[in-house]
Structure 1
Amino acid sequence: MRTWDDARRHLVLMLALTFTTGIVDAVGFLGLDRVFTANMTGNVVILGMALAGADDLPVLGPALALVGFLAGAALGGRVLRTAPAGWSDRTSGTFAATGVLAVGLGVGALVAPPVEGTVWALVVTTLLAVAMGLQAASARRLAVKDVTTVVVTSTLTGLAADSRLAGGAGDGWARRSLAVALILVGAAVGALLLHVGGERGVGVGMLVAGVLALVAAVVGHAHREA
């Protein structure tokens, strides 16, 4: 029974982080010069088009986001390499670090709103990507099926390929659908926060996402297995 409770709790927490990812990516794309700080597939595509000479597409921002994300994921992998299975103290620490980074950047962006193309905007982009890479590595280590918190392409593939329409049993359709819906709703919320917050919308969005990530880390830590 305890194992089932842990699995369900992990699923809920990863879905919550998927929602925050939608907020972060919307804020980054709309407020930080069309850069994704969590969805690296989008960055690779943007970077490829920009390098091919497509008009008005950024190069430096997506490149820095890629480097930052890889650095964050590598850090998470190293920290959690020898951690116990399930949610451990180290898992709490990495998820908390994601939240702290997002909150810190949010506060900084409220005090000094980042302007597209400036050094400060690039610093925010890079550090936010580090936070999302760390989150992605932590979620990967926790291994909640179909919920990576940062991408939904594989989730959509599984949803369609395993559906009854495709001759499958339709297993996992609820969690897969929720993951897709939550990142969509998160993106809508991020766009709304950016609109309502005006020039400080980037900071507001990151602050909200960071606080939610910290709440997830605290709840997970309170019920950790190790």
Structure 2
Amino acid sequence: MKRLNAVPTERVHLWLMLALTFSTGVVDAVGYLGLDRVFTGNMTGNVVLLGMAFAGGADLPILRPVLALLFFMLGAALAGRMLRKGPEGWSGRTTLSLMVVAGVITALAVLTAVVDVQASSLLGSITTSALAIAMGIQAATAKRLKVAEITTVVVTSTITGLASDSRLAGGDSKHWVRRALAIALIMLGAVAGAAALNVGLWLGLTISAVISIAVAVTGYVRHHRERNGAGVSAG
């Protein structure tokens, strides 16, 4: 723990957001492969799916992607409103926001463990919509923390930055390590989520819930110790 305390706060926040990026990969794999091809974190994917569906794409879903978009925006709006009243950086509101994410995903993990939501159109839609709310909250929280190049839910801009700022493009390759890690981790998360489906929806959601809880707790502990340390120094 002393080693963790010696790590700069910005670096700790980077690690935590990268962990959530992996978690998003898990959740999106569970949603797309296990819940009728809907993304609950990557809203760009839903917009593209809807465009193809509206053009007559064969057997492409419409309802769940639409619901995911709406509930993602709702989650982001609620989190944005709550976090805007708090201080910059990590705060008690940040911890609360991420614990809400963890709580929602944990509840869904339990639900999918005891009920076959894939057999019910209504329960399946409720599951994806609730996941989208959680991902919207997570994305808004990550945005508030302002960890450069890490959104936790998409990597398109990260890939663009990695390429356009590379030595090959005449750039200085700034942030290339975190960009590469974000891309790799969301992919590895998708691998883990797809593999977890061999056991059940609940396993992938449990993995994501555990990560979200760990991130919230670690961030809270670090923030609490920093605040107490600042108080001691001032005294």
Alignment TM class, shorter chain as reference:
over 0.9
Q: CA deviation at 1:204?
A: 1.3
Could you tell me which residue of structure 2 aligns to residue 73 of structure 1?
Answer: 76
Computed over aligned residues only, the root mean square deviation of the Cα atoms, in angstroms, reads 1.3
Query: Which residue is equivalent to 1:127?
Result: 130
Matched pairs, number: 221
Q: TM-score scaled to structure 1, two decimals?
A: 0.95
Q: Percent identity, please.
A: 52
Please give the alpha-carbon distance, in whole angstroms, between the structure 2 residues aligned to 1:220 and 1:4: 13
- Give the structure 2 partner of residue 35 of structure 1: 38
Tell me whether 90-99 or 2-11 shows the greater mean CA deviation.
Answer: 2-11
* 1:169 partnered with 2:172: yes
Q: Name the counterpart of 1:157.
A: 160
Distance 1:108 1:114 in 2: 8
**Aligned residue type for 2:31:** G
Q: Quick check: 1:142 aligned with 2:145?
A: yes
Deviations 1:41-91 (A, max 9, x none): 000000111111111000001000001100000011000011111100000
Match of 1:100 among 72, 96, 103: 103
Structure 2: where are the runs of 5+ without partners? Answer: 228-235
1:7 corresponds in structure 2 to: 10
| Residue 212 (structure 1) aligns with | 211
- Asked if 1:83 is matched to 2:86, the reply is yes
The structure whose Rg is larger is 2
Q: TM-score, normalised by structure 2?
A: 0.92
Q: Deviations over 1:112-161 (max 9, x none)?
A: 02116610000000000000000000000001000100000000010001
Q: Distance in 2 between matches of 1:167 and 1:75?
A: 41
Q: Is the 8 A contact 1:18 1:149 kept in 2?
A: yes
Please list every run of at least 4 consecutive aligned residues from structure 1 whose deviation after the TM superposition is greater than 6 angstroms: none
Match of 2:190, as an amino acid?
Answer: A
Q: Distance in 2 between matches of 1:148 and 1:113?
A: 32
1:45 paired residue among 34, 43, 48:
48
